[in-house]
Amino acid sequence: MLTLTDPAEMRAWSRAHTRSGRTIGFVPTMGALHTGHLALIADAQRRCDEVVVSIFVNPLQFNEAADFDSYPRPIDADVAACESAGVAVVYAPTARTMYPERFQTRVVPGALAEQMEGPGRPGHFEGVVTVVAKLFGAVRPDAAIFGQKDFQQLAIITAMSADLDLGIEIIGHPIVREDDGLALSSRNVRLTADQRDAARCVPRSLDAACEAAARDEATAGSVTAAALRVIEDEPLARLEYSTVFDPGTLAELDAVTRLTAPDGSHARPRIATAVWFGDVRLIDNRDLFGS
């Protein structure tokens, strides 16, 4: 396995492999790799001949300096995990390489970034799409895999790839969870033992929302109220939001019935939530009518 830090070297590797007819799958990460990331890597390996994993904690997408500083960075363990997973290249550029002194260009996402997480995290998605565009420029993959855990991010990057004619297939991978239902996240390691126990209320609140959605006369209000009750019962948890949304437009919904897109396809509403445990913020989402 190669570890590269320079975009020109990354591009040269990619070009050589593409020329020899190999397809390249890409999994962008901020490191502190867990089973969720490994599932994305395995998905990329099933689809493509070679897999590149990037590890870069992107300062542009953090709203709080403290969150950026405390983000876990176990780089040696991450490189070892990629090596045993059969990754071809770890691309781990430095912040200075990514954002040199005269760096000035940003990619601006559209309406999808104004929904859900958008208002509470100004500039976050601009930081995300800018770094992903840069990573795509260095890695030049055929396909890139993103987790549905960050559902809004996946939607925004899918739009960017289409809108900017990048020709990169964007694939969404289902959320990988712990046995008790908590979605895997690099931030989970920052929870105290008590907070980790309490965090089970997040997936349980989504379960309660799904049960409420299955009832006759369910509305988005009754569904989010069911989720809220579960979070309120947990003293260590503080709800930031819980929203029923259209998975196509990410717009907040009042009704919880099946949706018909302009192309005639059907989609099922989802619920998304953000919950705080001390200074750790966890997000999760679920198809309201999924299994």
- Residue number with CB closer to ligand AMP (125 or 218): 125
| 258: nearest Cα among 284, 286, 287, 285 | 287
137 and 7 in contact (C-beta within 8 Å)? Answer: yes
Sign, CA dihedral 35-37-40-42, equals negative
Q: Which stretch binds ligand AMP (CB under 6 A): 18-26, 63-71, 173-181, 265-273?
A: 173-181
What DSSP assignment string belongs to 205-255?
A: HHHHHHHHHTSTT-BHHHHHHHHHHHHHT-TTEEEEEEEEE-TTT--B-SB
Strand partners, 111: none
Asked whether position 283 contacts ligand AMP by CB under 6 A, the answer is: no
Q: According to CB under 6 A, which one of 45, 158, 186, 243 is a site residue for ligand AMP? A: 186
Indicate if 37 belongs to the active site: yes
Distance CA 155, CA 248 (A): 8
Judged by CB, which is closer to ligand AMP: 38, or 198? 38
Q: Which of 24, 38, 40, 256 binds ligand AMP (CB under 6 A)?
A: 40
Task: State the Cα–Cα distance between residues 91 and 83, nearest whole angstrom.
Answer: 12
Site for ligand AMP in 125-164 (CB under 6 A): 146-147, 149-150
Phi-psi region of 242 (alpha: psi -120 to 50; beta: other; left: phi over 0): beta
Q: Is 185 in the site for ligand AMP (CB under 6 A)?
A: yes
Whole-number minimum distance, CB 260 to ligand AMP, in Å?
Answer: 27
Applying the rule CB under 6 A, the residues between 12 and 31 that interact with ligand AMP are 29-30
Q: How many residues bind ligand AMP (CB under 6 A)?
A: 16
Q: Toward ligand AMP, which CB reaches closer, 10 or 182?
A: 182
Closest Cα partner for 281 from 115, 66, 127, 109?
66
Catalytically annotated residue among 17, 37, 124, 173: 37
**From the CB of 230, what's the least distance to ligand AMP, in Å?**
20
Cα(129)–Cα(107) distance, integer angstroms: 6
CB of 37 to ligand AMP, least distance (A): 5
| 240 in Cβ contact with 247 (< 8 Å) | no
Q: Determine which residue in the list 17, 124, 140, 173 makes contact with ligand AMP, applying CB under 6 A.
A: 173
Catalytically active residues, by annotation: 37
Residues that bind ligand AMP (CB under 6 A): 29-30, 36-37, 40, 146-147, 149-150, 173, 175-176, 183-186
